[in-house]
Amino acid sequence: MHVKLPVATLAAATLMASSAMPVVADKASGTLNVAFTKELENVDSYFNSAREGVVLQRAIWDGLIYRDPETNEYIGNLATSWEWIDDTTLEFKLREGVTFHNGEAFNADDVVFTVDFVAKEENGVKTQRNVNWMESAEKIDDYTVRIHLKDKFPAAIEFLSGPVSIYPNEYYAEVGPSGMGLKPVGTGPYKVSEVVPGQHFVLEANENYYDSPKGQPEIAKIDIRTIPDVNTQMAELFSGSLDLIWQVPADQANKLAEMGQFTVANESTMRVGYVQMDAAGRSGDNPFTNKLVRQAVNHAINRQELVDALLQGKSKVVYTPCFPSQFGCVQDVTEYEYDPEKAKALLAEAGYPDGFTVDFYAYRDRQYAEAITSYLNAVGIQTNFNMLQYSALRELNMKGEVPIAFQTWGSYSINDASAMVSQFFKHGSLDNAQDDQVLEWLNVADSSTDPDERIEYYTKALQRISEEAFWAPMFTYNTNYVFKDEVAYTPTPDEVLRFVDMSWK
């Protein structure tokens, strides 16, 4: 059965296009005007888990290590070198002469304070998986530090090159996450001059930025506003008050490309879209505790049609709860072909010959989410559609109050399966499967220092997750970037909008 897919409109943008030609907004003043679609709950990178937060994190703060997004080579950043002392101890030699945006000198005290703070679960870091593998840090001297791991964790270097940013110890001890969210201070290529929580962020180039592998900032000022409606973003692009927008739906991006007035770039991302179901019954008695119902959901959705009609670009169908390039994300799993009649038969076998009604949640890409509910409705699963802010849905998920939802995860651009599959299937607050066998296998995969053994146990875990249909993985994402021709930028395949890589032509 073919399901009619909703299509977004270009009405607002074309209206503006008819009355205004593109103009150079603030190139002369050195300001790049950018739009975010989603409201960011807190700029403090440890207290949000949104992609917009990752973008600001990479601009404002630095980690000990940097992974080149093109070559995947690990390079010293705030650290100049590192070595494994034993299976659970990493020693770093730190870069001298670096200062934070507020003038504090960077040294081992900052690393020790940051690690010891974020590693304590009671301090409430949003994405525990990013930090809970660390036990503590130890100062050897002012520019030598050791990080002690709770257990063997071969992905440590990858995590240290991504979500683990180093904070100024004195400032953070004084202001905490709320103060850091309002007046962020890092060592990164951009410093923050203004924050209107959730709405407006102004970054200025760090003129004293050290010789980081990130490179030097060339654009003097980045002005970011939250504009939830994509049509409004495009209207402002035409009027000249925006220079760059991203995460533009494929149909709008294609039409903008046809106009020939802007640069439209499409690049793959590590983000996976998926339908999560409450197999563990955390939200109470619900149909998704029945494996047959979960399998029916998997068969009900035409993944390829979603990719072809809505995502387009470099997106691909996936059947794994991880991104294919991630180490350990094996693809030899059960694949559920689109078969609505089989879905109906499975529902009948499960005791729902007439289907059922359920609350369905989503936080982004309403177009995609509504298309998915159309497929479910077609086989008898009637949905009460709920579109929430990301932070609100995340809180509901953590409380176990969501029976079924369309969600996405970009793994913080970490190229290791532990950043996704272990995030959601190790009995944490976001695990709606709570499967002991999967937990046991993932514990081995996450801690083994033998790459072959890691592959073996990720394979076991992924095959069970797929066979039990705990999720319905859908597709990988791509991102459309649209910007004025005066802007020079080449997107990278990790979905990190890197302001430090942008310049004026």
- In three state form, how does the secondary structure of 378-412 look? HCCEEEEEEECCHHHHHHHHHCCCCCEEEEEECHH
Q: Which of helix, strand or coil describes residue 432?
A: coil
Average pLDDT over residues 195-218: 97
Band (pLDDT 50/70/90 cuts) for residue 171 is very high
Instruction: Quick: pLDDT tens for 81-133.
Output: 999 999 999 999 999 999 999 999 999 999 999 999 999 999 999 999 999 99
The number of C-alpha atoms within 13 Å of 160 and in the hemisphere containing its C-beta is 27
Question: ∠219-61-160 over CA atoms, to 5°?
Answer: 130
Model confidence at 1: pLDDT above 90: no
Mean pLDDT of 211-231: 97
CA gap 321, 424 in Å, rounded: 9
pLDDT at residue number 16? 43
CA 360 to chain centre: 21
Q: Give pLDDT, residue 344.
A: 98
Sign of the Cα torsion 390, 395, 398, 399 reads: negative
What mean pLDDT comes out for the span 354-372?
A: 96
Distance CA 378, CA 376 (A): 5
243-260 pLDDT tens trace: 999 999 999 999 999 999
> Does the structure show a pLDDT above 60 at 18?
no
Of 461, 387, 475, whose CA–CA distance to 431 is shortest?
Answer: 461
Q: What is the pLDDT of residue 41?
A: 86
Question: For the purposes of burial, counting CB atoms within 10 Å of the CB of 208, is it exposed (0-12), middle (13-18) or buried (19 or more)?
Answer: exposed
Tokens of 412: 């913080």
Architecture in CATH of 45-219: 3-Layer(aba) Sandwich (3.40)
- Average the pLDDT over each of 179-183, 271-275, 388-392 and give the range with the smallest value: 388-392
pLDDT band at 26 (very low <50, low <70, confident <90, very high): low
Q: What pLDDT, on the 0 to 100 scale, is given for residue 46?
A: 97
Average of per-residue pLDDT across 372-394? 96
- Specify whether the CB–CB gap between 84 and 90 falls below 8 A: yes
User: Are the C-beta atoms of residues 224 and 202 closer than 8 Å to each other?
Assistant: yes
Q: What is the rounded radius of gyration, in angstroms, for the C-alpha atoms of the chain?
A: 23
Q: In this structure, are residues 110 and 167 in contact, taking their beta carbons and an 8 Å threshold? A: yes
- Is 70 exceeded by the pLDDT of residue 199? yes
Q: What is the mean pLDDT of residues 60-87?
A: 96
Q: Are 75 and 201 in contact (CB under 8 A)?
A: no
End-to-end Cα, the chain, rounded Å: 49
Work out the percent of the chain whose per-residue pLDDT is above 90: 92
Q: Domain extents for the chain?
A: 45-219
Contact yes or no for 334/463 (Cβ under 8 A): yes
Asked whether the predicted pLDDT for residue 370 surpasses 80, the reply is: yes
